[in-house]
Amino acid sequence: MYEYLVGSLGLLVIWLIIFLKSPKLRGEMLLSGSIMLPLALTEPLFVPEYWNPSTLFNLASTTGFDLESFIFVFAVGGFIAVLYETIFKTEHEKISHKEMHSKRHRFHRLVLITPFITFGLLYFFTNFNPIYSGAIASVLGAIATYFCRPDLVREMLGGGALFLILYFSFFLMLHLIFPDFIDSTWNFGAISGIKIFGVPAEELMFALTFGMFWSSFYEHVKWYKLKEM
């Protein structure tokens, strides 16, 4: 009954491990997780169109909202932002004032909100399952980021790949602990039905695409670039 809660808390443990071991990244983790937190309010768009998890107080089934999503979103939003920096030992430095005001950045704010606008348009004007709208929006967000900040491309690609590996590994463990969780929770009639070692392909698509976009979001917002330590 509490698979989603266990999974969300497990991701929060990963967040906590990185938080405790990397003092320099704590501010980035807290801010990135907090910025992403409101996305938990989109859960009613996914229940039951994409999945219908068992949640505390049966909130997902009765209201569409649930407490687990806030834990999940905060944890994932926090550690995606720093995975690349954690593995490849990089630090931030501010980009120059001259670079900030170059023509490349004239659409800076629009680029930052591109995936959110895209998701809204796809949700209201297409019949796509929300998970596919989210993936398309994330890819467009990553592409827009590249044209604005090509210096962040390594972090985008690396962050997406690292989150995919971590998320896939975590899902495999969850599937072993709760073998009936996936089949009883995901709405396979509304998605591809493809599973990779028991994990829905759409979850891996989410990990790669959203990881690519979100891994560089903090640097983009704060006008930072990465430098090797």
Average pLDDT (86-100) is 89
Q: Is the pLDDT of residue 121 over 80?
A: yes
pLDDT level of residue 45 (50, 70, 90 thresholds):
very high
pTM of the shown model: 0.94
Domain range summary for the chain, segments of one domain joined by +: 3-228
pLDDT level of residue 101 (50, 70, 90 thresholds):
confident
Burial of 93 (0-12, 13-18, 19+ CB in 10 A): exposed
Six token digits for residue 103:
């023509």
* Average per-residue pLDDT for the chain: 94
Six token digits for residue 55:
């949640």
Instruction: Give percent of the chain above pLDDT 70.
Output: 99
Chain segment 107-117, per-residue pLDDT in tens: 888 999 999 99
Chain segment 27-36, per-residue pLDDT in tens: 999 999 999 9
pLDDT for 229 equals: 59
Residue 57: partners with Cβ closer than 8 Å, 6 or more residues away: none
Six token digits for residue 138:
């994330």
Asked if 143 and 160 count as a contact pair (C-beta separation under 8 A), the reply is no
